[in-house]
Amino acid sequence: MAGNLHFDHHGLAAEEGDPLTGPRLIRLAVVWGAGLAVVAQRLGPPDYQWVNATLSTLARQGYALAWVMRLAMTGFGVLLACGLLLVVREGPARASRLSAAWMLVFAVAVIVCGVFPIAPANEEAARLAATHSRRHSVAAAGMVLALLLGIALTSYLETSSRRRAAHLLALLVAGIAATALVLATVKVIPVGQGLMQRILMVVGSAWVLFAYDGAGAGSAEPGWTSDCRNGGDGQE
């Protein structure tokens, strides 16, 4: 059946013969980002507490090994954006292309976070680096919002009840983690910012793999069919 979020049989055949398909680049983006994030955390300073400190702290201005986390963010964002662009171009259903197009906002926000790191711990240096830090904060907020709206949009466009339930579960967990992250940041609840951010990123990465992975093409689960809510242009 054409018009499938996972791509139809034609899309799967293209993936097998072409290493630069959207799903493969998206998988590479997740592996790249997660792998370098783990390396950055392992190389972090002795006083770094991942439960309380966010990943952005490892990319902080003035930190000697900040380049590792910055490379994780920018590489993840660039690879994800390229993969999503291929989905927008190749996706057989307009619903999958629409969802991927919106998630480009998320990918760009991640890139901005990597390019403009937060200010250093030193107060004097922090004042000099305030512009970069503000850009990072705005991009981080936009990244979370784009992810939540992207999951919600994908859930709305999905025609498979089972896959829609998975999208909604991801939205629920990500929404709770995002809310807890905000409340922890403003000291309303005693929950570690780092822990909540990592939960949010793990859920987001897992959802991206689930939503745009072409490995399920031709499976019994139909995913987005040609009669999807936005009047997709696929054919039965």
**Could you list the mean pLDDT of each consecutive 10-residue stretch along the chain, which spans 236 residues?**
38 48 90 94 88 84 87 94 87 71 90 77 53 71 90 88 93 94 82 87 93 48 40 39
> How far is Cα 75 from Cα 135, in angstroms, rounded to an integer?
18
> How far is Cα 226 from Cα 2, in angstroms, rounded to an integer?
7
Q: What separation, in Å, do the N-terminal and C-terminal C-alpha atoms of the chain show? A: 6
Q: Is residue 221 part of a domain?
A: no
> How far is Cα 10 from Cα 91, in angstroms, rounded to an integer?
10
> How far is Cα 13 from Cα 19, in angstroms, rounded to an integer?
11
DSSP state of 234: -
Structure tokens that stand for 183 in this block = 């409340």
* Per-residue pLDDT, 198: 92
* Per-residue pLDDT, 230: 44
* Per-residue pLDDT, 149: 92
> How far is Cα 57 from Cα 117, in angstroms, rounded to an integer?
8
> How far is Cα 86 from Cα 88, in angstroms, rounded to an integer?
5
Q: Is residue 25 part of a domain?
A: yes
Q: Is residue 230 part of a domain?
A: no
Q: Is residue 79 part of a domain?
A: yes
* Per-residue pLDDT, 118: 66
Q: Is residue 153 part of a domain?
A: yes
Read off the amino acid at residue 141.
A
* Per-residue pLDDT, 234: 39
> How far is Cα 140 from Cα 112, in angstroms, rounded to an integer?
8
Q: Is residue 37 part of a domain?
A: yes
Q: Is residue 220 part of a domain?
A: no
* Per-residue pLDDT, 7: 40
Q: How many domains does the chain have?
A: 1
Q: Is residue 146 part of a domain?
A: yes
Q: Which range marks the domain in which residue 190 is found? A: 9-120+130-214
